[in-house]
């Protein structure tokens, strides 16, 4: 991947802007260059400026904007809060960015049937807070939970620390309302219940805005467990911590969460938040178990015993909500704390089999050191979802190019270990070329056909997910090519 994108199209003609203003109101059309700057980014390191941003307030307004874009042959790029980590919300060919941030209501919470219907611009945490008033919760909880939106979570099939036992977003979405490329508004899946037929909902979850724009989401809610205990286990070596991960799962115990934080993240977080992470530790694990009180007590004893058998020098248990909240604050705010280590970071999202964690993590550190980057690791260890953070300074000549090369090599390690290039951040523009590492041409062609079935072709979020598409092949200097002839498989 490169951060260089094709030249922007010229400013949109005034009649186009007027048509968009007629659809959503003049105040909800952003077109001045200085105002568009904030839409140039998502949370990765790529940049691309849209031609115009619209902020609709309903599915009908979204449909009207899509029809305007269609009449004028303009790309359409859905966008939520812009917290995505794969360039999925970047307008790499300009066009119309459709921001869902005004569509942020909770439309229904049905406690009896345990589902909720929300708009895509709703911040994830707001749904959690609303469900809690009914003794329920929504399981997917990304670390950006305070900022990311449900629509963005659906687009990327987001995960989170508590998805180990309960599954990612796709396991908790029952139905969707969507706007198709021709402006039609359709409903997929069930509304409160699962229904027979093709799983079109499953197709849209994780499609990253390439098939349609989601305008309503029906999600499954779960009862809050009777008891919860969070363990903090402290280790003097990385290998001890990673070996515990496989041993815990092999024992038959499936925690609600199993997270690892390495020494670099500890040294960034602890001086600021004072969580209680020992500054001299090489790694800590957060292991959370929940369920019935009797089962939780026994599961916590099993997890603690495994940690001590593998050399944990300390294991603490947090049972009170405020104690657990402090530990999770240290995990969920860790990425923000990395600003103490370097001006920029590049976060990766590879997946490896749990049994390969010790070996792959050692090689991750080796590769990053060879490129001259400090690598801070904080990740969902229980499902082998690595998040290496490569620390760098984009003002240093050549640093951005080198960090992208380094990231490509690390993701290649994950694939060679039997893993994948993404666990929850999506493919987006950032990793689309890497899809050939894990899929053959027939597989990719079948996926490409889905866009035609939905009528989206290359206009809906172009140059995302698939390494094909008109005008995408020459838009970037591929990291894969720089990795050598063996990179394409």
* 33-43 residue pLDDT tens: 999 999 998 99
Residue that finishes a domain, picked among 50, 77, 99: 99
If you average pLDDT over residues 340-369, what whole number do you get?
A: 96
Q: Report the alpha-carbon distance of residue 186 to residue 212 in Å, rounded.
A: 10
Quick one: 350 and 484 in the same domain? yes
Over 50: is that where the pLDDT of 486 sits?
Answer: no
Quick one: 49 and 75 in the same domain? yes
Short-list 5, 161, 149, CA closest to 82: 149
Residue that finishes a domain, picked among 336, 357, 372: 336
Quick one: 113 and 218 in the same domain? yes
Phi, psi of 410 (to 5 degrees): -70, -45
Over 80: is that where the pLDDT of 9 sits?
Answer: no
Q: Is residue 8 part of a domain?
A: no
* 315-351 residue pLDDT tens: 999 988 999 999 999 999 999 899 999 999 999 999 9
Quick one: 201 and 64 in the same domain? no
Over 70: is that where the pLDDT of 5 sits?
Answer: no
Quick one: 69 and 113 in the same domain? no
Q: Which CATH number characterizes residue 58's domain?
A: 3.30.43.10
Query: DSSP label at 382?
Result: G
Quick one: 193 and 264 in the same domain? no
CA distances (Å), origin 128, targets 118, 336, 435: 12, 22, 34
Per-residue pLDDT at 488: 29
Quick one: 78 and 145 in the same domain? no
Over 50: is that where the pLDDT of 185 sits?
Answer: yes
Q: Report the alpha-carbon distance of residue 371 to residue 63 in Å, rounded.
A: 47
Q: Is residue 3 part of a domain?
A: no
If you average pLDDT over residues 27-49, what whole number do you get?
A: 93
Q: Is residue 197 part of a domain?
A: yes
If you average pLDDT over residues 13-31, what whole number do you get?
A: 96
* 99-158 residue pLDDT tens: 999 999 999 999 999 999 999 999 999 999 999 999 999 999 999 999 999 999 999 999
Give the total number of structural domains in the chain.
4
Q: Is residue 474 part of a domain?
A: yes
- Is residue 462 very low, low, confident or very high in pLDDT (cuts 50, 70, 90)? very high
Q: Which CATH number characterizes residue 486's domain?
A: 3.30.70.2740
Q: Is residue 1 part of a domain?
A: no
Quick one: 251 and 346 in the same domain? no
Q: Is residue 363 part of a domain?
A: yes
Quick one: 69 and 189 in the same domain? no
Q: Is residue 322 part of a domain?
A: yes
pTM, rounded to two decimals: 0.92
What residues make up the domain containing 463? 342-489
Q: Is residue 449 part of a domain?
A: yes
Residue that finishes a domain, picked among 307, 336, 365: 336
Contacts of 473 (CB under 8 A, 6+ apart): 467
């Amino acid at each position: 991947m490169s951060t260089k994108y094709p030249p922007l199209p010229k400013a949109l003609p005034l009649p186009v802007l007027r048509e968009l203003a007629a659809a959503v109101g003049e105040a909800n059309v952003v077109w001045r260059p200085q105002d568009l700057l904030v839409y140039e980014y998502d949370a990765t390191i790529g940049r691309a400026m849209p031609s115009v941003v619209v902020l609709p307030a309903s599915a009908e307004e979204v449909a009207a904007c899509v029809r305007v874009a269609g009449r004028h042959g303009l790309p359409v790029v859905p966008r939520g809060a812009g917290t995505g980590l794969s360039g999925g919300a970047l307008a790499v060919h300009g066009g119309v960015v459709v921001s869902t941030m005004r569509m942020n209501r909770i439309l229904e919470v049905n406690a009896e049937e345990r589902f909720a219907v929300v708009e895509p611009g709703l911040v994830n945490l707001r749904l959690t807070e609303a469900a809690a008033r009914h003794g329920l919760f929504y399981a997917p909880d990304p670390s950006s939970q305070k900022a990311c939106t449900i629509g963005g979570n659906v687009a990327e099939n987001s995960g989170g620390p508590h998805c180990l036992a309960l599954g990612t977003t796709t396991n908790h979405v029952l139905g969707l309302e969507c706007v198709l490329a021709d402006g039609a508004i359709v409903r997929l899946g069930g509304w409160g219940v699962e229904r027979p037929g093709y799983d079109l909902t499953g197709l849209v979850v994780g499609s990253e805005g390439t098939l349609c724009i989601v305008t309503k989401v029906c999600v499954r809610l779960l009862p809050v467990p009777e008891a919860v205990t969070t363990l903090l286990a402290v280790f003097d070596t990385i290998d001890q911590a990673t070996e515990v991960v496989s041993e815990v799962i092999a024992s038959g115990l499936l925690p609600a969460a199993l997270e690892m934080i390495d020494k670099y993240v500890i040294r960034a977080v602890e001086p600021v938040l004072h969580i209680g992470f020992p500054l001299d530790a090489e790694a800590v694990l957060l292991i959370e178990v929940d369920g019935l009180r009797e089962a939780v007590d026994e599961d916590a004893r099993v997890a603690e015993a495994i940690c001590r058998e593998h050399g944990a020098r300390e294991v603490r248990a947090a049972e009170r909500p405020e104690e657990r909240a402090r530990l999770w604050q240290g995990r969920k705010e860790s990425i923000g704390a990395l600003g103490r280590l370097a001006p920029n970071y590049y976060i990766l999202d590879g997946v490896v089999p749990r049994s390969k964690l010790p070996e792959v993590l050692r090689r991750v550190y080796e590769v990053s050191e060879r490129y001259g980057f400090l690598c801070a690791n904080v990740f969902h260890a229980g499902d082998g979802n690595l998040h290496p953070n490569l620390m760098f300074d984009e003002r240093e000549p050549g640093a951005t190019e080198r960090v992208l090369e380094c990231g490509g090599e690390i993701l290649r390690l994950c694939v060679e270990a039997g893993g994948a290039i993404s666990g929850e951040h999506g493919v987006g523009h950032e990793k689309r070329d890497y899809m050939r590492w894990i899929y053959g041409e027939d597989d990719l062609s079948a996926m490409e056909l889905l866009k035609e079935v939905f009528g989206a072709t290359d206009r809906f979020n172009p140059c995302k997910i698939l390494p094909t598409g008109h005008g995408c092949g020459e838009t970037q200097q591929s990291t894969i090519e720089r990795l050598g002839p063996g990179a394409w498989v």
